[in-house]
Amino acid sequence: MKKLIINISFFLVALTALVSCKKDVADKYSNPEKSKDASLSGLFTAMLNNDRIAAKYWNVRTFLCQMPGVYAQTSYFPNTNSVYQQSDGYSQNYWDDFYATGGNGSGSMAQYRSMEAKYKTLSDADKVSQGTIMQAAKVVLIEQAAKMVDLWGDIPYSETGSLETNSIIKNPKFDEQKALYTSFISDLAIAATYFKTNATNKDFAKADILLSGDVNKWARYANSLRLRLLMRISKVDEGTARTAVMEMLNNTAAYPLADGGNNPVYNPGTSDILLQPLTNSTSDLSAAFREGSWFATDYLLNTVMLTADDPRIPVIYDKYGRIVRVDGKDVFIPNKTYKAMPVTMSNGDQDTYNQDYAVLDSATFLYNQKLPGIIITAAEVNFLKAEAYERWGSSSSAQAAYENGLRQSVTFYYFLNNLNKGGGYVNLPAPSGAVVDKWVTASSASYAGSSTDKLKSIYTQKWAHLGVLQSNEAWAEYRRTGYPVLTFPSDGKLSGFDTPPTRLIYPAKEITLNTANYKAVQAKDTRKTKIFWQQ
């Protein structure tokens, strides 16, 4: 698939003048390409319509399953000698898709800078009425920018798009990662407060393809994202995180969260922050996964789920099997049990015996045309709450949040499975309360042991819930917490690439085109440099 590579330093601005909504929403929403004067609402819709969030082929195949999914073991990987080596081309694509339009992302930064420039031209009265859409755009930008920091560390941010915003042509500096996180956390608090005290308007509601202009949901989204980032820094700046997080958790009226109302059988479609597909066309995930990443992962299935008789197994995995010749006819013989290939199996044996092992479920993942882009879910929020309570509050509150997280994860994955209607797929009914209760309270997933044991359970089950489609977050959490304790085969790997990295190396074009500013961060640009929130 052809990709458009953009020099963010000089050409971002020229591109933002031509930003547009994607074709599948052009008929419903304002298309900036059809006007010399792009509207805020059209730019916002285009910003939301992001294929780096939506469940689309390019992001899943070339990025999630090839880098963070491998490094966090949330996706299967062939045991080749270069498996831990970063793909320079595909990481360049991801970088470009954040900074500029024209690729497989929305160009979050480019869209936002165009919105800022447009907003400056409005009258004072219009600025007041359009404040909601600007706050929402800031939340969307922060969610994507935080991922960039989690992947690379210092990134160009404050000076990017300077010609658009300040009529100055300059290559952008790399902003320091901890300072960026501090600003993100502060800006999210401001946005959440804004949404609680300001009503929506028709322009915002029409443009908002994520939450339909519901300011209450936007407040929950901003608070939940803030909670995620605060917990992300909590191992290196515990004082700041503890004070802010416990203030949020002790005042739910002032700080509502996207926690599903703490209801185990909540409705993910109305409570979680999900980017629903804008068309019914296939997401091409079948091709994405079948090109090498659709097998079950060893630790997740064999160690975490099977040992606990996890009720999510039937909607996450399929037993798979092999075709054999019987009486002159091809007959599919399914495997009798769920099991994943051992991570230590050689690449040759992986190719020979792969039909003996489970794969991702076709109804839930591979052929699910309604699979949403996952931004944050109630289960993740409750796992974050559980960690905070266990470290700084009541262990009983931690247990309640953890068990809610487990139950909501079951609800969430059965919700995904049941989105795929027709096509010969059989949607599975949710397991009974007794089955879920046994898993939650009387299995290896139960909340038991020392505080260290309980935190290990929280970290492991959050990692399991994030899974393959949220591999970015799973890798970040794995690096932050050290859990689960994974085995990475190193025999025969390329010298210097015998283990996964702790961050991505900066893309080659950024180094070439932004050389002076790159020199300021060059010493940090190694695959084993830690992101600031790692211990």
Q: Which pLDDT score, from 0 to 100, does residue 37 have? A: 63
More confident of the two residues 18 and 169: 169
pLDDT greater than 90 at residue 335? yes
DSSP three-state, residue 54: coil
The tokens describing 511, both together, are 């180094």
Which amino acid does the sequence have at 49?
N
Instruction: State the SS3 of 465-527.
Output: HHCHHHHHHHHHHHHHHCCCCCCCCCCCCCCCCCCCCCCCCCCHHHHHHCHHHHCCCHHHCCC
Residue 166: its pLDDT value, please? 63
Which DSSP category does 295 fall into?
A: B
Q: Which of 49, 48, 44 is nearest to 203 (CA)?
A: 44
> Do residues 284 and 57 make contact, with C-beta atoms less than 8 angstroms apart?
yes
pLDDT given for residue 323 in this prediction? 84
pLDDT at 328 (0 to 100): 85
DSSP run (H or E) holding 326: strand 321-326
Whole-model pTM? 0.92
Residue 367 has pLDDT above 60, yes or no: yes
Q: Poorest-confidence range of 21-35, 53-67, 111-125, 187-201?
A: 21-35
The pLDDT value given to residue 424: 75
pLDDT digit string (tens) for 28-53? 444 443 444 679 999 999 999 999 99
Residue 29 is predicted with a pLDDT of 44
Torsion angle of C-alpha atoms 161, 164, 170, 174, degrees rounded to 10: -20
Q: Residue 476 to residues 48, 214, 245: CA-CA distances in angstroms?
A: 23, 29, 19
- Is residue 272 within 8 Å of residue 377, measured between CB atoms? yes
Which ranges of 420-450 does DSSP label H, i.e. alpha helix? 433-441
* Token pair in block for residue 412: 């969430």
Q: Which residue has the tokens 């929506």?
A: 200
Residue 168's pLDDT band (cuts 50, 70, 90) = low
Question: Taking residues 219-224, what's their average pLDDT?
Answer: 98
Average pLDDT of the chain, as a whole number: 90
Provide the percentage of residues in the chain whose pLDDT is more than 70.
Answer: 90
Query: For residue range 356-365, what is the model confidence (pLDDT) as tens digits?
Result: 999 999 999 9
- Taking the C-alpha atoms of residue 269 and residue 250, their distance in angstroms, rounded to an integer, is 27
**Alpha-carbon torsion 122, 123, 126, 130, what sign?**
positive
**Is a pLDDT exceeding 50 seen at residue 438?**
yes
Copy the structure tokens of residue 232: 């992300």
Q: What is the pLDDT of residue 26?
A: 41
